[in-house]
Amino acid sequence: LPWQAALGCRAAQVLMQYCILANHYWFLVEAVYLYKLLIGAVFSEKNYYRLYLYLGWGTPVVFVVPWMAAKYLKENADHGGGAGLCVPLPCLSSQINLLIFMRILKVILAKLRANQKGYADYKLRLAKATLTLIPLFGIHEVVFIFATDEQTTGILRYVKVFFTLFLNSFQGFLVAVLYCFANKEVKSEMKKKWQLWKLDH
């Protein structure tokens, strides 16, 4: 039935917008968590796991619910014309992430400089740390955050679309490779599990 198709389409649109925002706010959770690990003196030892869950999964609801209401009211005012409304861009999370990113780089640089004799290649290590933090924090989002679809035209629009789609599509894989599969502790644990499994079988 047509009304069922329209309802399914709207539900899919709402879910998509929610997932996009959840992605941004989980970037923020990752940034806050890493900052907490590096600068532990600022925080107490309290477990923030539940707070992280609320921030990552709950904050997008604060944006999506008003967006749904505004879209519904606008469509009714337009007599079903379906005039598009954009969900508010998660500028706040991206800006906070950028500030945390800069603060963490400052801490890493200070630690590398303090151990400069032990790390002769500290500039290379800083560059590596910077490049690995960019996908984890979603810093690539900041580059095009103010370049909206209406403002970008021609080649710039294609560049924006390509980088946004490419980085968003492979971001989870890149983070998994850098922080899981390439991690020495993870590889050591996987090796132990593999050896135990071979002994059992």
Q: What pLDDT is stored for residue 101 in this prediction?
A: 84
pLDDT digits (tens, 9 = 90+) for 90-132: 667 777 888 888 888 888 778 777 776 655 566 666 677 777 7
Distance CA 82, CA 51 (A): 37
Q: What pLDDT is stored for residue 88 in this prediction?
A: 54
Among 50-54, 69-73, 108-112, 189-193, which is the least confidently predicted range?
A: 108-112
pLDDT digits (tens, 9 = 90+) for 157-173: 788 778 777 777 777 77
Distance CA 68, CA 85 (A): 9
Distance CA 78, CA 36 (A): 48
Distance CA 10, CA 18 (A): 12
Residues 6+ apart with CB under 8 A from 73: none
Q: What pLDDT is stored for residue 166 in this prediction?
A: 78
Distance CA 197, CA 67 (A): 51
Mean pLDDT, rounded, for 37-65: 77
